[in-house]
Amino acid sequence: MADQNGEKKVTIQGIVKMKRDARRIVVVTAYDVLFARIVDSAGVDMVLVGDSLGNVVAGFDTTLPVTLDHMIYHGAAVRRGVRRALLVVDMPFLSYQASEELAILNCGKVMQQTGAEAVKVEGGTDEMVSTVGRLTRTGIPVVAHLGFTPQSVRTLGMRVQGRQESDASRMVEQAKALEESGAFALVLELIPSDLAERITDAISIPTIGIGAGPHCDGQVLVLPDLLGLNDGFEPKFLKKYANLAETVRNAVARYGDEVRSGAYPDAEHSN
């Protein structure tokens, strides 16, 4: 299938095949139609509407206040800008944990109202593995998420997970169980790179790393972070590919100077 410009649409099957073909998967987040169009045209493979919007859009300290309505609103906006990449929407806190039936209803609602091709859920407990199985059997494609899971920040703290061998071994087994349950990809966040390599080698579905080293099948970054829009956020794993905060600050300051001096609008910019 191709989009209106003739570019081949990225599919779930295509993402899984990228691992078999040893092709790295490029994932970024987006939260609005303008940036969605830009990242899609830049050729990324997957766009994630992350509940990180709670931090970088809404200004919350954590992702916990993000609601289903927030995710649907932003997911639908991003859908209107994404044509080629695979679109995945995060399921927010308490929208899928209470019961499998609630998970099916809410995940189905997100797919219906946003047009996303898949959803992402956090955790690898037995209960979550069972939920992923129910979702996939219902026809809802799932990206799973292990390591530091932001919705568990109050219990885990924001720190690297899996440093102890017992924790690492459990995470490997959870990854295998999530694959068996039907997840087609697995995000690994804030874990040691050697553990990420173990997990990547142990499963046949792609791993997508963030703060998990170079051995994953793909990488994801939060778009405002990689663009340098998020002043003061400097985790070790983050590489900033632009400094747009300074660019925007300077542009707005110049605009202010010209408005105050009367230089804008001039004849060229007047009807």
pLDDT at 156: 86
Q: What is the tens place of the pLDDT at every residue in 192-246?
A: 999 999 999 999 999 999 999 999 999 999 999 999 999 989 999 999 999 999 9
Would residue 89 count as lying in a domain? yes
Q: Structural domain of residue 147, as residue ranges?
A: 12-226
- Here the tokens at position 5 are 């410009």
pLDDT at 135: 98
* Single pTM value for the model: 0.95
Would residue 250 count as lying in a domain? no
CB-count exposure of residue 165 (10 Å: 0-12, 13-18, 19+): exposed
Would residue 246 count as lying in a domain? no
Element (H, E) at 218: strand 218-221
Of 184, 177, 99, the residue nearest 140 (C-alpha): 184
Reply yes or no on whether the pLDDT at 167 is more than 50: yes
Of 72, 142, 132, 145, the residue nearest 100 (C-alpha): 132
Would residue 260 count as lying in a domain? no
Reply yes or no on whether the pLDDT at 270 is more than 60: yes
Query: Residues with Cβ < 8 Å from 129, sequence gap 6 or more?
Result: 174, 177, 178, 180, 181
The number of distinct structural domains making up the chain is 1
Q: Is 189 a catalytic residue?
A: yes
Would residue 161 count as lying in a domain? yes
Q: How many CB atoms lie within 10 A of CB 32?
A: 16
Q: What percent of the chain has pLDDT over 70?
A: 98
Would residue 176 count as lying in a domain? yes
Q: For position 48, which CATH number holds?
A: 3.20.20.60
Sign of the alpha-carbon torsion through 179, 184, 188, 194: positive
Instruction: Please tell me which residue in 101, 127, 189, 234 is annotated as part of the active site.
Output: 189
Query: What is the CA 190 to chain-centroid distance, rounded?
Result: 14
Would residue 23 count as lying in a domain? yes
How far apart (Å, rounded) are the C-alpha atoms in residues 207 and 201? 10
Of 15, 85, 23, 18, the residue nearest 49 (C-alpha): 85
Q: What is the tens place of the pLDDT at every residue in 81-93?
A: 999 999 999 999 9
How far apart (Å, rounded) are the C-alpha atoms in residues 91 and 205? 20
Work out the average pLDDT over 57-70.
97
Would residue 245 count as lying in a domain? no
